[in-house]
Amino acid sequence: MYDYLIVGAGMYGATFAREMTDKGKKCLVIDRRSHIAGNCYTENKEGINIHKYGAHIFHTDDENIWNYVQRFAEFNNFKNSPRVRYKDKIYSFPINLFTLYQIYGVQTPEEARQKLEEVRVKNDNPQNLEEWILSQVGEEIYDIFIKGYTTKQWMKDPKELPSFIIKRLPIRLNFNDNYFFDRFQGIPIGGYTKLFENLLSGIEVQLDTDYFADRDYFDGLADKVVFTGRIDEFYNYRFGELEYRTLRFEHSYHAIEDYQGNAVVNYTELDIPYTRIIEHKHFEFGKQPYTYVTKEYPEVWQKDSIPYYPINDDTNTKIFNQYKTLSKEETKYIFGGRLADYRYYDMHQVIGSALAKVRRIEETISA
Ligand code: FAD
């Protein structure tokens, strides 16, 4: 008999399992996929670690979380500075003074401020995402960075999208092109899968094992079940299905040393069906004479698609809240992670929430 059956070998499940194992609990981790690491999984191909479910850059402002992950991997000092390609021009991104120089020729923060004030489309009551962005930055920036990219990502005209999707459009009036502001960031040297192997070291893991294939059997194996899968699936979709945005990744090998000179290049033109190209070797400063790249295509959501980004609109939030209410009543089951919480989390947030959950359980036991 196990103390904990943990459904999902992703960041939440693996962190929870590590902590409870270190506290002397007996844990079994299962995952329906044939590998550990959930969406952080990297596959090593000829020395290049391919981020199979999208580019993952670790970043956090929390020193405790940063120290925690250092126990399981050495991190390099990778800094994320994507580029944007639009109509055969390359732009610095996130939008900063150099980007504004490329578009308008402005050279100082004050010139940039004045230019933005001049080009923005004044509107005191923007009704949708397009109107809102135009009121902030004007047409040229909207066309280059937002219009096509957002239409591709959401498969909707930005006129039909609410402005809260892009809560704020960061425009930096300096030359800082570091995507994240966090104090700590990097990529685990040797890939995320290695980090997870260390995180799960000494813990029993069964892959290709679906909890729903025999729920009663799995429930009978342990005192408590930690569920990190989809909460709507857990409750057999009784209140309806939660929607996600999904993606298709097209990986390819190229017998050249460098394909695009950067880890991430966003393609913002509507006519190009993918949203970005990732060149994996740049995450670890690879020197191989060949390379692997991945094109990322947004796809229409279907029930058996891989869920990537939750769509936290009113309809889905209402459905989720009904599941959440049920889950609060459970005594055998513990829910955690991005699918059970139906929230987009970065990796450091998932680790933080698993560590917090373990702390709360400990406090309840010792109270
Ligand atoms: P998951 O990684 O999804 O793990 C859940 C696991 O549960 C899966 O392996 C699944 O197979 C398993 N499972 C589900 N149901 C069952 C079942 N019935 N039986 C058995 N197993 C089951 N975060 C960052 O910090 N930086 C980034 O740059 C970044 N980039 C991202 C890019 C993309 C495209 C996406 C989608 C996410 C990105 N993230 C990034 C977020 C990061 O992927 C998540 O924070 C993290 O993977 C969440 O971990 P998790 O354990 O909650 O979920």
* 195-208: pLDDT as tens digits: 999 999 999 999 99
- Active-site residues: which are they? 168, 172, 245, 276, 296, 344, 346
Cβ distance 40 to 25 under 8 Å? Answer: no
Q: How many angstroms is it from 131 CA to the middle of ligand 1? A: 34
Q: Is 7 in the pocket of ligand 1 (CB under 6 A)?
A: yes
| Ligand 1 atom 52, closest CA | 337
Cβ distance 310 to 248 under 8 Å? Answer: no
Q: What's the pLDDT tens digit per position in 308-350?
A: 999 988 999 999 999 999 999 999 999 999 999 999 999 999 9
* The dihedral sign for the CA sequence 271, 89, 121, 174: positive
Q: What's the pLDDT tens digit per position in 70-98?
A: 999 999 999 999 999 999 999 999 999 99
Do residues 227 and 362 both lie within one domain?
A: yes
What's the number of domains the chain is made of?
Answer: 2
Domain extent at residue 24: 2-38+61-79+184-241+310-366
Do residues 128 and 15 both lie within one domain?
A: no
Q: How many angstroms is it from 337 CA to the middle of ligand 1? A: 8
Element containing residue 234 per DSSP (H, E): helix 231-234
Do residues 104 and 75 both lie within one domain?
A: no
Residue for token digits 């966090």?
182
Q: Is 57 in the pocket of ligand 1 (CB under 6 A)?
A: yes
| Ligand 1 atom 53, closest CA | 10
Tell which residue, 234, 208, 237, has the closest CA to residue 334: 234
336 lies in some domain: yes
Domain boundary among 139, 168, 197: 168
Do residues 13 and 156 both lie within one domain?
A: no
Q: Is 276 in the pocket of ligand 1 (CB under 6 A)?
A: no
pLDDT value, residue 163: 83
Do residues 106 and 69 both lie within one domain?
A: no
Q: Is 308 in the pocket of ligand 1 (CB under 6 A)?
A: yes
Mean pLDDT taken over the chain: 96
Residue 212 alpha carbon, nearest atom of ligand 1: 18
What's 18's domain CATH number?
3.40.50.720
What pTM did the predictor assign? Answer: 0.96
